[in-house]
Structure 1
């Protein structure tokens, strides 16, 4: 058993795990342990297939038994199952960066907007996933897509002749382009929230390029684990 570790629920399939990715042990200064969720393929997550929820809970419970003091995930689309997993385990559950959204709304002026960057548009997240009931707050949330980012991301198997550094360069270009388009459409954006768990890999470059605070799942993980240590 590994003590004081962050548990990470992972999707099915092979993933490349560069530094900065939530499931890479080199990303954090605390240990992580991972459990693959049986049947959690990307097409089922995009379809909001509720039948994967029992397997998700089982995997989360295994993480806790192995010593996880908090449970995160390697895909923001697990957010649909946040309430069920949180109810099933006795540790903090942080399946998606969307949990930061209420904080970011309060952090900024009421006249400012919060930009949510997803893999593509339309955004897969509805009002229930956002967790915002106030219509004034909801009007401040705007969506941007990083078309092309999924193909470049750590979720996708890549040809042997393409290096991980080339993949990450492509991901960086796509995410910066998506953020630039979003800011051009909404110049009153105060913060950027990355909904895809691959995007934090290129967050430092994005912050430098656009000059705005950028948040993602890895920031939420550090906040949660810091509160527990």
Structure 2
């Protein structure tokens, strides 16, 4: 096999690139922002100054910064690009058109697949960081309309989650956040008996997926499941 160098590329083997918002939060194992989450190398690129609040304004100035981050990752050889915030959905359509490699910015893209795994009268529960931001306008940017079989629950009122993920206190108590996420999920399932699976929208939630699943006994999908799926297609295993 013949290998070729790429001008300007100094490291190789990173198939997945992750565009990071400018946040002040710890990324623990399981979080998309922690490289130990994955069994393969990933490459990160932060968009300086781009916060969730600024991103939601859909300003072209911020989009250009996002696009530059994507182009930089592509120049370093990644084969596909994701993000570290589900609300990046608002830029999915534009970025996938402007970059020349696959783009999957938000875990919500999995809804298009998951809806075919359940019956017509069944639901997918979406647990999100802030339900006030995950509105129909945002969902429509990735083709999720009102006919989709989803119900949504936010974590914005949970003290420990709010402090580290929304307020950005700079620290988190993993056990406390886990207790909040599991409690919300239990209540969510009780409120919606037709719910057959759960999608965790936020990239900070995969660390709690196992504890959540152990309690509610349902399939759970998240950012990690999406990234692992895309990676499996980019780099096939030898059997």
Q: How does 1:26-37 map to 2 (within 5 A)?
A: 26-37=36-47
Please name the residue that 2:182 is paired with: 176
User: In the alignment, which residue of structure 2 is the partner of 1:206?
Assistant: 212
Instruction: Specify the structure having the higher radius of gyration (Cα).
Output: 2
> C-alpha deviations, 1:26-79, integer Å up to 9, x for none?
111110111111331122134444531111011001001112111111111111
- Please state whether the residue corresponding to 2:79 is helix, strand or coil: strand
How do residues 29-48 of structure 1 correspond to structure 2 at under 5 angstroms?
29-48=39-58
Question: Is it true that 1:101 corresponds to 2:111 in the alignment?
Answer: yes
Q: Corresponding residue for 1:143? A: 152
Structure 2 length normalisation: TM-score? 0.85
Which residue among 71, 76, 82 is the counterpart of 2:86?
76
Count of paired positions: 220
* 2:206 is aligned with 1:196: no
* RMSD between superposed Cα atoms in Å: 1.9
CA distance in 2, matches of 1:50, 1:186: 39
Structure 1 residue 15: Cα displacement? 2.9
- Map of 1:91 onto structure 2: 101
Task: Show structure 1 runs of 5+ residues with no match.
Answer: none
Unaligned runs of 5+ in 2: 1-10
C-alpha displacement of 1:23: 1.8
- Partner SS for 1:158: coil
3-state SS of the aligned residue for 2:97? helix
Partner SS, residue 98 of structure 1: helix
